[in-house]
């Protein structure tokens, strides 16, 4: 999958989520190009509600494709501060724009959390590329 898009400015998990710091205490989360390509055509996305707690490593959403249903796992501990409502009517955005219009949720961490430190523990683009053999 050498043509997999892996933006340099994002962090990644081994479970194929991308994380983009969009505020001092807030990140935007989605699934990677590699993940959406592996899933096939996305037909439904089940997202959490605003203010739901997210725990690292715990499933908080599901992406259903023509091939399977995949859990989306929390990349960090926090609270859902926004969901991508556009996915309700257009789940295919996860395929066509995984790093733009196909984002899933925004998560805000607590005031006592050093977000940069948490992000530093995740994969960078090179680490993710090595993990997926790209």
Residue 80 lies in a domain: yes
| pLDDT at residue 87 tops 70 | yes
Residue 6 lies in a domain: no
- The helix/strand/coil state of 33 is helix
pLDDT category, 4, cuts 50, 70, 90?
Answer: confident
Residue 79 lies in a domain: yes
What is the pLDDT, as a whole number, of residue 3?
75
If you average pLDDT over every residue of the chain, what do you get? 95
Percent of the chain with pLDDT over 70: 99
Range of the domain at 32: 11-114
Residue 42 lies in a domain: yes
Residue 61 lies in a domain: yes
What is the pLDDT, as a whole number, of residue 1?
40
Residue 60 lies in a domain: yes
Domain count, the chain: 1
Residue 49 lies in a domain: yes
| pLDDT at residue 49 tops 80 | yes
Residue 132 lies in a domain: no
CATH number at residue 64: 2.40.50.100
Stated pTM of the model? 0.95
Instruction: With CA atoms as reference, report the closest residue to 28 among 106, 95, 81.
Output: 106
From residue 100, alpha-carbon distances to 24, 77, 104, 127 in Å are 20, 23, 10, 21
From residue 21, alpha-carbon distances to 27, 46, 66, 70 in Å are 4, 23, 31, 24
Read off the pLDDT of each residue in 55-71 and give the average, rounded to a whole number: 96
């Amino acid at each position: 999958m050498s043509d997999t898009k892996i933006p340099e400015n994002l962090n990644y998990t081994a479970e194929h989520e991308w994380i983009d710091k969009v505020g001092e205490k807030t990140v935007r989360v989605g699934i990677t190009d590699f993940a959406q390509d592996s899933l096939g055509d996305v037909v439904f996305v089940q997202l959490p509600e605003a203010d739901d707690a997210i725990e690292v490593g715990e499933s908080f959403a599901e992406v259903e494709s023509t091939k399977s249903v995949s859990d989306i796992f929390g990349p960090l501990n926090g609270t859902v501060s926004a969901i991508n409502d556009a996915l309700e009517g257009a789940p295919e955005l996860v395929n066509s724009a995984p790093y733009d219009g196909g984002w899933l949720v925004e998560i805000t961490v607590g005031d006592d959390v050093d977000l940069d430190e948490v992000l530093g523990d995740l994969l960078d683009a090179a680490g993710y590329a090595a993990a997926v053999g790209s």
